[in-house]
Structure formats: structure tokens, C-alpha cells
Structure 1
Amino acid sequence: MSSQLISNTIRSSNIRRIITSVIIALIVLGVGLLNIRYIANFFAGPRDIDHSELLQIDDADKVSRNWVNVKADQAIDTGYQMVETSRTGRETVESNYLALVIDDRILLVESPSADEVTEVSGALIPISNEIRTKIVAEIEREEDLDDVFLPYMLDAGNFRMPGYIGMGIGGIILLFCAWGVFSGVMNTDPTRHPIMRRLSRFGDPTMTVSEIENELLAPRWQHDKLRITTSWLVYTVAADFSAMRLNELVWMYKQVTQRRVNGIPAGKTFTAIFCDSHGQQITVQGKNEQDVEAMLTEVHGFAPWALAGYNNDIEQAWKKNRAALIEAVAQRRAQPQQPETEA
């Protein structure tokens, strides 16, 4: 009889990967459906629209084919512009506003160009309250006009650019989702799973799994998801599994992370870090500082040769001279050790 913890974790990991990939793909497709009108216009291209149809439109949102080619009687530069000011004070003209004369009405056009052209391609969109107040109302007041502007405007910017960006990002996400589903379905061979590949550093992963699962039937110590068996330090969380040999434990310490929201301190996170002679780490987040300290004290009791507590000298040795640090700890393990209090 053996524990099925690792096998169940691998199975759970595959199922979670498939479900997550499907959910993300559905979200991407949902965003596409919400923008179905834009997508249809993107592929269909702009259509010619005559004056009579323009004059009959009262709501641009109800026009399905809203990417149109407009031919006006006259084009007039209103003199209004949208100007972006950088932090250094530099001003950049983002848009120019033109007035296209359509019979006895005026169609406001937002264009990157100030050229007074009578043939313009763009998307029919509602006029925002800001533009209606700052441009339309001002022009009507200055020119003594009354209700001559059509109740919508023409955005003559690059219609397809947002589509190229959106489809590029969406396509990449969908490819990752497809790979997630494929790998989750095809990962029926547990030896190919990332968990098994990590365990291969100990030798034959199948034999390693058998050894760990047999020892997990009677753990020597357990703290929530962290367990110590005869030979192993094991941590399981959600659909992941980590393990290191107890006799290869080199260093353990408490990590304190200050969380901030908009630069304002918003509490701390306390984590126990365990490092082995392969350079791998197991990271266990505690409920509070006392929880992490108790966890480290207990584990150190089972591995008294390991360095306990954080200091800059150990960190530098771990980063720059790890082999010497591991050798020093191996020599400590070869000698009888008394558990030390965490620094």
C-alpha cells in the first residue's frame, strides 16, 4: 500500500491546467463577441455611404456597417485640435477636427490630418459629451448656427490598427490556451509532468515517487501542507508538489515582505524558505510571523546541521560560492550537531 498524493497532485495539476486554459480562451472569445460589429467591419472593409443615408441616421451605435467612405460637398477646418501635453511641457497634436458639409447638415470629423479633404474614410461613432460641449456647442455659438451638426461624428483614425493589436494579443493567448489544453490532455504519462522532471534530480523519478509516497503513509511531523518523513521534506499546495531530501537541506530562513498599496504599507507576508544542495527552494507562506518561526524551529530539529536564519554573509555565499557553502554544511552534517536557535 502507498500514498497516492503525488499521483493525485499530478492529475489535479493537469485538470487545473485544462480548466484554466478553457476559461481564459472563453474570456478571449467573449471579448471578441462583444466586439463582433468591429470585427465584421474589420474584415468587410469600408463601404460607400450616400448623403441620404447619412441624414437618416440618428444613432451611430445602431449602424452595423459603420466603417464608411464619406464624400462631402465641402470640408472646413474648424481650428479645433486635441493636444497632448507631456510632463516636460511638450505639446503634440493628437487629432484635428474638420467639418464636412453634407447637404444642409455638418458631419464633425476627428482626423489625424488637418487636410481639408472632401472624401474621408472612418467609423461613425457617437459624439462624446466633452466634444459636444467644447467643440460642437462652441462652433454653433460662434457661427450662430442651430442644430446643424449631425448627432454623430466620423473617426478618421486608423480603423484596423486596434484590430491588429487585439487579434495579435488574442491569438497569442489562444495559442497558449490550446497548448495548455493539449499538454493537460496528453500528459497522461506522469513521467513527463513538470513535477516528475523536478524529482528526477534525485534519480529515477518513478522510484523516488514510490519512496516518498510510502514514507508519507507515516510522516514524522506535519504542519498544514508541510511534512517531514523519514527521508524527505515535502510540501504540497493546490496542484503542485515539492520535495527535497532531508539530508540535503542546507539553509532555512524567514523572509518578511512588506506589502504596499499606492506606496502605503498594507501589512507584511511571512514566508519560510528551505534550500537544498541542488540549489532548489521550497517556499512556504505562514499565517503570521509566529507560525513561520515555529515551522522553522521544528524543521531545524530534524536537520540540525542546516544553517538556520538569514544574514547577508550566507546569502552572498549562496549566490556566489554555493559549492563551498554546501561543502561546509556537509561537514557539519558529518559531525554530531545540536539544534541551534534560529538567528
Structure 2
Amino acid sequence: MDSTIFKNIRGSNTRLILFGLLALIAGIAALVLTTVPYFVAKFTGPVPISMKELVSTEVNFIQPLYFREVTGEEMFDSGYYYETYDSDTGAVTNTDYFGLLYLGSDRFLLVRTEDRVDEGQTTYVGSLTTISDEIQRDMIDDLRRELGADADTIQFLPVMLDTRDSEIFWYVGAAIVAVQILFGVRGVVLFLQRTNDPYKHPALKKLGRYGDVRMVVDSIEQDLALQDEVIGKNLHLTRNWVVFISGGNIQATRYSDLVWLYKHT
């Protein structure tokens, strides 16, 4: 099976398995790193976390700590908010607010909320995540400049509690991950089937309109071996066939059919 057609089929199968494995690995990684931890945390309920744990907690952008409950002593409205604009109309589409939850011992935790900061509320549930460079630059650093010398006496924790409701996003994300994994599995299964039986490749199955696929392929291959005039990179003119071969796409037409078509037009 070292022929022109089967080389093309093997190349197509190689691309298929690479795509399938990539989709499968990426889907499983997303499932393990984000989707599963989120829903496990959601259905097991919020986990209280102390200031001591907060100080020593390390999180990253890919793996926040979901559904953590933090209770402080006082809540302060930072006066900062983040607006999202419609790129076409310039209208404000969303506004997030930022509060500073005082935990004691001159330590503050940044809290991001969908609603205006309620300074009477001291318990919040959300995801502990990293503080983006933008928020660090435009808010934390700005606050430190305003505080001046007093900034050295307080500590802003390097994590943020994001209390925004993103449940719909996670359900949509879980559906996308599931579809991605299914595509990956399908790619692997098709690769195994087509490797075991190359004639199951759709490009070869289409040749079945000329008769038995194996006989048709043998006829084309014999012609390619005996007389093959190549036009461009992909078009082959043989004694009995006009063949187009490119990237897993194989199309063939007999000269007799072309003559018949010419006579009837």
C-alpha cells in the first residue's frame, strides 16, 4: 500500500489522529483543571477559609479556588469600579464594583461584586483568584499612592475574591468541553477504523459509484504507475482517468464519462 492514493489516505489519517488526540487531551485537561473542581465545589457547598489560610494560599489564573467563604471584620467601598462597554454603541453593558474586606492585623482582601458594595456585609462567597495586572496597576497601586506613608502599614493580599455569578458560563463551558471530548473520541475511533480498513475512508467510498472500490482503486493506481501526467500539484491525467488528489480528498472521473458529458452539452 505504498501507492499514491494510499499515501494520501495515510496522511489524512495522520492529521485525523493528531486532531483527535489534541481535542481529547485539551478537553480532558479543561475537565480536570476547571470544570470538575468548579462543580464539585458548587455541590459540596462553600468552604470557609480563615485569614491564616488566605495569607498562605496560592492560586493561579487557570485554577482558582471555587466557592470559598470569607468573613472579615469590616467592609469598605474602595470607590473603584470596572465598566464594560459595547464596542459599537459605546454604551455601558456591565459594571463591577470593588470592596476592601478588612480581615484584621492590617490585612485587606479585595472583593469584586456585581452590585454596589454593601459596607454592612462582612461575609462573602466567591472564587479566590489572582489579581490581574490591570487591577493591580489601576487600583491597588493607585490606592497605595493615595495612602502615601500609611501604605507601608497595611497589606493587600495577593488574591481576590470574585463573587460574580458565572453559573451560566460554567454550564455552557461544560457543554463545550463535553462536545470537544466527543469530537476527540470520534477522531480516534475513525482513525482506528480507517487504519484497519483504508477503504472506509470517505474519499475512497465515493469511488464506489464506479463499481467495487478495491477494483476501482487498483485501476486508478495501475494507470498512475503506467502513465501519469501531473498538472499543477494535484491533478493527474492517466490513460483512463482524470484524478485529483489533495489532503485526503480524492476525486476521479473516467475519460469516457467526460466524453459523454461533452457530447450531451
TM-score by length of 2: 0.75
**CA contact under 8 A between 1:3 and 1:213: conserved in structure 2?**
no
Secondary structure of the residue aligned to 1:151 is strand
Structure 2 equivalent of residue 118 of structure 1: 122
Q: Quick one: distance in 1 between partners of 2:108 and 2:64?
A: 21
Q: CA deviation at 1:61?
A: 4.5
1:213 corresponds to which letter in structure 2? E
Secondary structure of the residue aligned to 1:213 is helix
Secondary structure of the residue aligned to 1:217 is helix
Structure 1 equivalent of residue 244 of structure 2: 235
1:226 paired residue among 235, 241, 255? 235
**CA contact under 8 A between 1:22 and 1:177: conserved in structure 2?**
yes
Q: Quick one: distance in 1 between partners of 2:16 and 2:93?
A: 46
**CA contact under 8 A between 1:136 and 1:149: conserved in structure 2?**
no
In the alignment, does 2:94 pair up with 1:88? no
Q: Quick one: distance in 1 between partners of 2:133 and 2:19?
A: 40
Structure 2 equivalent of residue 168 of structure 1: 175
1:194 paired residue among 199, 202, 215? 202
| C-alpha distance 13-59 of structure 1, shift in aligned 2 (>3 A) | closer
In the alignment, does 2:74 pair up with 1:74? yes
1:234-277: CA deviations, max 9, x gaps? 1223444221222434xxxxxxxxxxxxxxxxxxxxxxxxxxxx
Superposition map of 1:6-21 within 5 A: 6-21=5-20
Query: Which deviates more from structure 2 when the two are superposed, residues 202-211 or residues 226-235?
Result: 202-211
| C-alpha distance 79-23 of structure 1, shift in aligned 2 (>3 A) | closer
In the alignment, does 2:29 pair up with 1:25? no
Q: Quick one: distance in 2 between partners of 1:4 and 1:128?
A: 55
Structure 2 equivalent of residue 97 of structure 1: 98
Q: Give structure 2 stretches of 5+ with no counterpart.
A: none
Structure 2 equivalent of residue 181 of structure 1: 188
Q: CA deviation at 1:139?
A: 4.1
Q: CA deviation at 1:69?
A: 0.5
RCO higher in structure (CA 8 A, sep ≥6): 2
Q: Quick one: distance in 2 between partners of 1:99 and 1:132?
A: 14
Structure 2 equivalent of residue 246 of structure 1: 255
**CA contact under 8 A between 2:193 and 2:200: conserved in structure 1?**
no
Q: CA deviation at 1:113?
A: 1.8
Q: Quick one: distance in 1 between partners of 2:228 and 2:128?
A: 71
2:129 corresponds to which letter in structure 1? I
Q: CA deviation at 1:181?
A: 1.4
Q: CA deviation at 1:40?
A: 3.4
Q: Quick one: distance in 2 between partners of 1:196 and 1:27?
A: 31
1:155 paired residue among 151, 156, 162? 162
In the alignment, does 2:146 pair up with 1:146? no
1:279-322: CA deviations, max 9, x gaps? xxxxxxxxxxxxxxxxxxxxxxxx8x9xxxxxxxxxxxxxxxxx
Q: CA deviation at 1:17?
A: 2.2
**CA contact under 8 A between 1:127 and 1:151: conserved in structure 2?**
no
* Paired residue total: 251
By percentage of residues, which structure has more helix? Answer: 2
TM-score by length of 1: 0.61
**CA contact under 8 A between 2:21 and 2:184: conserved in structure 1?**
yes
2:156 corresponds to which letter in structure 1? L
Q: CA deviation at 1:97?
A: 0.8
Structure 1 equivalent of residue 140 of structure 2: 136
Q: Quick one: distance in 1 between partners of 2:4 and 2:200?
A: 17
Q: Quick one: distance in 1 between partners of 2:228 and 2:53?
A: 81
Q: CA deviation at 1:150?
A: 2.2
Structure 2 equivalent of residue 57 of structure 1: 56
Q: CA deviation at 1:48?
A: 0.4
* RMSD after superposition: 3.5
Q: Quick one: distance in 2 between partners of 1:65 and 1:222?
A: 57
| C-alpha distance 108-59 of structure 1, shift in aligned 2 (>3 A) | same
Structure 2 equivalent of residue 288 of structure 1: none
**CA contact under 8 A between 1:123 and 1:159: conserved in structure 2?**
no
Query: Which deviates more from structure 2 when the two are superposed, residues 175-184 or residues 4-13?
Result: 4-13
1:95-139: CA deviations, max 9, x gaps? 111121212432221111225132211222333343234333444
Q: Quick one: distance in 2 between partners of 1:94 and 1:102?
A: 25
**CA contact under 8 A between 2:98 and 2:117: conserved in structure 1?**
no
The structure having more radius of gyration, on CA atoms, is 1
**CA contact under 8 A between 1:97 and 1:111: conserved in structure 2?**
yes
Percent identity, aligned pairs only, is: 27
Secondary structure of the residue aligned to 1:146 is helix
